Amino acid sequence: MAYEFSRPLPPVEVSPVAELDAGSLPSRLPRRKETALLPVKIVVAGGFGVGKTTFVGAISEITPLTTEAAVTAVSAGLDDVQFVQGKETTTVAIDFGRVTLDQSLVLYLFGAPGQNRFLFLWDELVTGAIGAVVLVDTRRLADSFLAVDYFERARIPFIVAVNCFDGVVLHEPEAVRRALAVPDEVPLIHLDAREHEGTKGALIEVTKHALSRARH
Amino acid sequence: MSARPSDENPGKGRRFVRPYALTGGRARSERANLSLETLILSNASGSAAAPELPPERRQVISLCAEAISVAELSALLDVPIGVARVLASDMHADGYLDAHEPMPEGTDLTSALERVLDGLRVL
């Protein structure tokens, strides 16, 4: 192994700081009104503890943020809670991240809370999504049935991404496909949700899948 | 892992102010309902009006000096998504915030997806 820093480093070119003033501080997106900014989103779904937030964090330019949605235990799906006395209100957190793709295009990644009782939240999370990644832990395949069913019924382009903890592929792709009963046209990949390249690959795959759907 | 609520640990609140007080108890705005990923950006009238606005709206104007999503606003203000949505929707309707919605009418899905793909490939 060579030590990269054993050789003298080439001189670093310093850009003139004087050109910067308060008005030209780098900002992620232009402030100008005439620029049409376009937000897009991809939903990351899967069972409890499968690595959704890890996946988001592996590629997000911000530390994944958390937003809360109120969940009314007895009235999931009801808009008006005034009729419900003594209702039990709790909150569920939705973790999300952000990837600026170009000057005016921002991709948001939303983790969909995995349990059944939060499913009513998915309608909103999924509306307008370009696609979804179903993260799968092959030791707990059944945890992904809900997400697969949901995206099939909602006709959202999705891929199945098997999260290989510690890089170990435990099951053959075809076995996973059969167990989940996903059709051949649904891409199935393996990744390590902690790794940038794996996460990036999954996002490319789901976007390609959405694109081929859009073209047909 | 932190002790914040999540789908793995739902339930525990940590706020002293009831957040829906900021919206007059409303969970949705009558005037508009921006989606989670809608990008919002304060404009000249927002900045001009800011000194006269209540503190939380002033804070929205300053947080939206750069384009952020409604979801980010919710996280940064530490209020539930419903509260952030009503605040942002109202302030958009008042003309203080510009809003860039996902896939506005006339957007070509195919070319949008191609841009996403190009952007992802160079990450």
Q: Which residues of A touch B63 (CB under 8 A)?
A: none
Q: Give phi and psi for B43, each to the nearest 5.
A: -115, -175
For residue A189, give how far its alpha carbon lies from the nearest alpha carbon of chain B (Å): 17
Interval B9-65: pLDDT, tens: 444 445 555 667 777 767 666 666 899 999 999 999 999 999 999 999 999 999 999
Residue numbers of A between 14 and 43 with CB closer than 8 Å to B: 27-29, 31, 33, 36-41
Between CA A16 and CA A142 the distance in angstroms is 57
How is A29-72 classified by DSSP, letter by letter? Answer: S---TTS--EEEEEEEEESTTSSHHHHHHHH-SSPPEEEEEEEE
User: Does the global pTM surpass 0.90?
Assistant: no
Listed as ranges, residues in chain A with pLDDT below 50 are: 1-27, 32-33, 74-86
B18 touches chain A (CB under 8 A): no
Beta-carbon contacts of B92 under 8 Å, excluding residues fewer than 6 positions away, are B32, B34, B40, B98, B99
> Of all helices (H) and strands (E), which one includes residue A132?
strand A131-136
pLDDT band at B8 (very low <50, low <70, confident <90, very high): very low
Work out the mean pLDDT of chain B and round it to a whole number: 85
What pLDDT does B70 receive?
97
Cβ within 8 Å, pair A105-B107: no
Contact B74, A67 (CB under 8 A): yes
B106 touches chain A (CB under 8 A): no
Total Cβ atoms within 10 A of residue A166: 6
Beta-carbon contacts of B50 under 8 Å, excluding residues fewer than 6 positions away, are B42, B57, B58, B61, B62
Closest-CA residue to B47 (of B56, B60, B34): B60
Question: Could you report the predicted ipTM of this complex, rounded to two decimals?
Answer: 0.82
Which chain B residue has its CA at the smallest distance from A89's CA? B11
Buried residues in A78-102 as b, exposed as e (16+ CB within 10 A):
eeeeeeeeeeeeebbbbbbbbbbbe
What pLDDT does A2 receive?
37
Closest-CA residue to A152 (of A175, A125, A180, A124): A180
Q: Are strands A65-72 and A38-46 parallel, antiparallel or unpaired?
A: unpaired
Q: Please tell me whether residue A172 adopts helix, strand or coil conformation.
A: coil
Cβ within 8 Å, pair A70-B82: yes
Between CA B45 and CA B67 the distance in angstroms is 16
Task: Locate A14 and state its tokens.
Answer: 């310093």
Closest-CA residue to A109 (of B93, B66, B64, B36): B36
What pLDDT does A188 receive?
96
Which chain A residue has its CA at the smallest distance from B26's CA? A80
What pLDDT does B5 receive?
44
Cβ within 8 Å, pair A93-B4: yes
pLDDT band at B102 (very low <50, low <70, confident <90, very high): very high
Q: Which residues of B touch A26 (CB under 8 A)?
A: none
Work out the mean pLDDT of chain A and round it to a whole number: 80
Contact A52, A111 (CB under 8 A): yes
What pLDDT does B18 receive?
66
B14 touches chain A (CB under 8 A): no
Between CA A88 and CA A85 the distance in angstroms is 9
Option in A37, A70, A92 nearest B100 (CB): A37
B98 touches chain A (CB under 8 A): yes
Q: Which residues of A touch B66 (CB under 8 A)?
A: 27-29, 31
